[in-house]
Structure 1
Amino acid sequence: MAGPADAIRFAWRAVRTYEELPEALRGLISSYLNHLAVERGTARSTLDSYARDLRRYADYLAESGIAALPEVKAHHLSGFLAELREGGRGQPPLAASSAARALVAARGLHRFAQAEGVLDVDVAREITPPSPPKRLPKALPVADVLRLLDNAGGEDVRGLRDRALLELLYSSGARISEAVGLDIDDIDDSERTVLLDGKGGRQRLVPVGRPALSALGAYLVRARPVLAARGHGSPAVFLNSRGTRLSRQSAWNALKSAAERAGITSGVSPHVLRHSFATHLLEGGADVRVVQELLGHASVTTTQVYTLITVNTLREVYATAHPRAQAGE
């Protein structure tokens, strides 16, 4: 089994001109990688990435006439970040996420050097990684969701379970972990709500629509007793073939199978149903703070990313429907 030192050597083997680095930089980077491997237990893949990033950083410093880390000023790190984003010296530009990772590696090197007494002042603290661009959550059109749910499962035990699961995911906006974590006592038929255990131990009551309640009722009456008889009295709502709590992977497989039967070729995951739930609510006129509560977001800022989808939709409709939308082009 390869040890931390082997991982470091493996990482540096990808560097063709390691020996050409200034000795002080080379030694400090090796010490830092060794620290990450031995004391922090950093994964080999991360060590490989950091080694490449730090090699590029050391190249940049050497090109700037820097032979040791104490000579580095804040403007050197700013220049390095600019090179990462724009390219230069024969190096291709990096995506925002990769540039941020490389700067994190450089900042970690400076922090380590200060802790080791090599640096008196950590100038890298002044430079922050670029924020990655906001990625809009993926949402399925309503028609695709309905087709997906229509193909959720048959009338056998597994089919009834899978239909109830997918109906619940879309009806409540639950995370997949919240759905498979449900216990029987968490369902209130009279109030038409489910009690979800969210992130950070936060619980929330979420209303559930009639189609989902109907699918849940059919499953609980006709299918769950069959599955429960194979286990040892699990309180879980959704059970597997052994009568124990359904796993997240099995729930994902149920969704994947339904998508294939429905002929939906775009990537579908349990989180896509959650995104669709939020997007369709906002498109229907729901207040963003209500959606925040339903999703269990600690901050409304997290929820507001869904409003970008609805604004984009409005913009597309406007561009194609308004007689003066394209005027002047």
Structure 2
Amino acid sequence: MDLRGAMDGYLRHLELDRGFSAHTIRGYRTDLLDLAGFAEETDADDTSAVDLELLRGWLWRGSTAGLAKSTLARRSAAARGFTRWLAATGTTPTDAGARLRAPRPDRHLPRVLTRPQVDGLLDDLAARAATGESNAVRDLAVVELLYASALRVSEIVGARTADLDLERRTLLVLGKGGKERVVPFGIPARRALATYLDDARAALLDGRDDPGTIFLGARGRSLSTRAVYELVAHLLVDLPGAGPAGPHAFRHTAATHLLDGGADLRAVQELLGHASLATTQIYTHVSSERLKESYRLAHPRA
């Protein structure tokens, strides 16, 4: 079977049968197209030519080109998923990537804001929202909800008005793999959302057809992930701290603050929508590092 055609079939399977997000599918497509290009350099343009040696050679080339361990690990996962699907559908007699391994990605502690930093950012946003300007009112509601419910940016922009319950202070969101979960939020987020829905949203919609999503951007369309990234990057640009200045910083921050406050790890796992508890445990490391830093700075015999 033609290799690129098989890859297209696999990506359709991920989208239609597995419910993978558009972002994940774009990443897999990029990796698999690179694999196809590497295979064609050796005249291997058919699925029957995909073997363990070819896959290892592809990863080795990426390694010698200086790709990060996390990128190599992602490529390895994409290749293994593809060859597993080929075998499961009977396209190939065996799973060529079953024994493929890649370096473990380096684990970096995520960026976490301090509570005074979060309070300062939200106070500034509230002051802007007090002017009544529609975008400012929306931005306050976006950041309040990001922090309150530890949401992914895709969950924020995809959240729908029909799934929002202001009385119970809950929101039904669609997470990774098409999995739904209900997340809570607090009184400040409820207040910001109510103000946005009562005043600003209709102004942003301006009589156009309603897309049904909570947050709207230009011309009454659903707010884009890029707009949320730009909003958060602008807020964090002058704050000290290492790590990416994107919406995930508020997700990391919320999870860490919950654990700092005594929340159960499994409860935080449910809030974040993590399939594995091991993924959530990174935030226990963050809390430990923050404790060590506080000890170092405060204890007279540190």
Q: Secondary structure at the match of 1:242?
A: helix
1:140 lines up with 2:142 in the alignment: no
Tell me: CA distance 1:237–1:93, structure 2 relative to 1, closer, same or farther (3 Å): closer
How much does 1:135 deviate? 2.2
How much does 1:233 deviate? 2.6
1:211 lines up with 2:188 in the alignment: yes
Contact 1:230-1:242 at 8 Å conserved across structures = no
Contact 1:149-1:258 at 8 Å conserved across structures = no
Alignment partner for residue 34 of structure 2, among 25, 43, 46?
Answer: 46
Query: What runs of 5+ residues in structure 1 fail to find an aligned partner?
Result: 1-34, 55-71, 86-90, 112-120
Q: Cα RMSD (Å) of the superposition?
A: 4.1
Code of the residue aligned with 1:182 in structure 2: it is A
Contact 1:37-1:47 at 8 Å conserved across structures = no
Q: Name the residue aligned to 1:187.
A: 164
Alignment partner for residue 264 of structure 1, among 231, 239, 260?
Answer: 239
Q: Which whole-Å CA distance do the structure 1 matches of 2:176 and 2:143 have between them?
A: 21
After the TM superposition, which residues 58-137 of structure 1 pair with which residues of structure 2 at under 5 Å, given as runs? Answer: 96-97=69-70, 128-137=101-110
Q: Secondary structure at the match of 2:218?
A: coil
- 1:205-237 CA deviation, whole Å, 9 max, x = no partner? 222111111111111111111122331133221
Contact 2:163-2:172 at 8 Å conserved across structures = yes
Q: Which whole-Å CA distance do the structure 1 matches of 2:38 and 2:114 have between them?
A: 41
Tell me: CA distance 1:232–1:274, structure 2 relative to 1, closer, same or farther (3 Å): same
Query: What runs of 5+ residues in structure 2 fail to find an aligned partner?
Result: 9-28, 43-52, 85-93
Structure of greater relative contact order (alpha carbons < 8 Å, 6+ residues apart):
2
Code of the residue aligned with 1:132 in structure 2: it is P
How much does 1:39 deviate? 6.4
How much does 1:103 deviate? 8.6
Tell me: CA distance 1:127–1:143, structure 2 relative to 1, closer, same or farther (3 Å): same
Q: Which whole-Å CA distance do the structure 2 matches of 1:151 and 1:102 have between them?
A: 41
| Larger Rg belongs to | 1
Contact 1:228-1:234 at 8 Å conserved across structures = no
How much does 1:46 deviate? 2.8
How much does 1:130 deviate? 2.5
Q: Which whole-Å CA distance do the structure 2 matches of 1:207 and 1:105 have between them?
A: 34
Report the number of matched residues. Answer: 254
- 1:136-186 CA deviation, whole Å, 9 max, x = no partner? 222112222222222334330111011111111111111111111122122
Code of the residue aligned with 2:107 in structure 1: it is K
Q: Name the residue aligned to 1:306.
A: 283
Code of the residue aligned with 2:104 in structure 1: it is S
Fraction of identical pairs, as percent = 40
Q: Which whole-Å CA distance do the structure 2 matches of 1:101 and 1:238 have between them?
A: 31
How much does 1:268 deviate? 1.7
Q: Which stretch of structure 1 is more off in the superposition, 234-243 or 171-180?
A: 234-243
Alignment partner for residue 150 of structure 1, among 113, 123, 133?
Answer: 123
Code of the residue aligned with 2:205 in structure 1: it is A
Q: Which whole-Å CA distance do the structure 1 matches of 2:181 and 2:160 have between them?
A: 14
Contact 1:139-1:273 at 8 Å conserved across structures = yes
Q: Name the residue aligned to 1:289.
A: 266
1:244 lines up with 2:232 in the alignment: no
1:202 lines up with 2:186 in the alignment: no
How much does 1:191 deviate? 1.0
Q: Which whole-Å CA distance do the structure 2 matches of 1:102 and 1:233 have between them?
A: 39
Q: Secondary structure at the match of 1:255?
A: helix
Code of the residue aligned with 1:243 in structure 2: it is G
Q: Name the residue aligned to 1:163.
A: 140
Q: Which whole-Å CA distance do the structure 1 matches of 2:97 and 2:221 have between them?
A: 51
Q: Secondary structure at the match of 1:161?
A: helix
Tell me: CA distance 1:291–1:221, structure 2 relative to 1, closer, same or farther (3 Å): same
Tell me: CA distance 1:321–1:202, structure 2 relative to 1, closer, same or farther (3 Å): same
Contact 1:50-1:105 at 8 Å conserved across structures = no
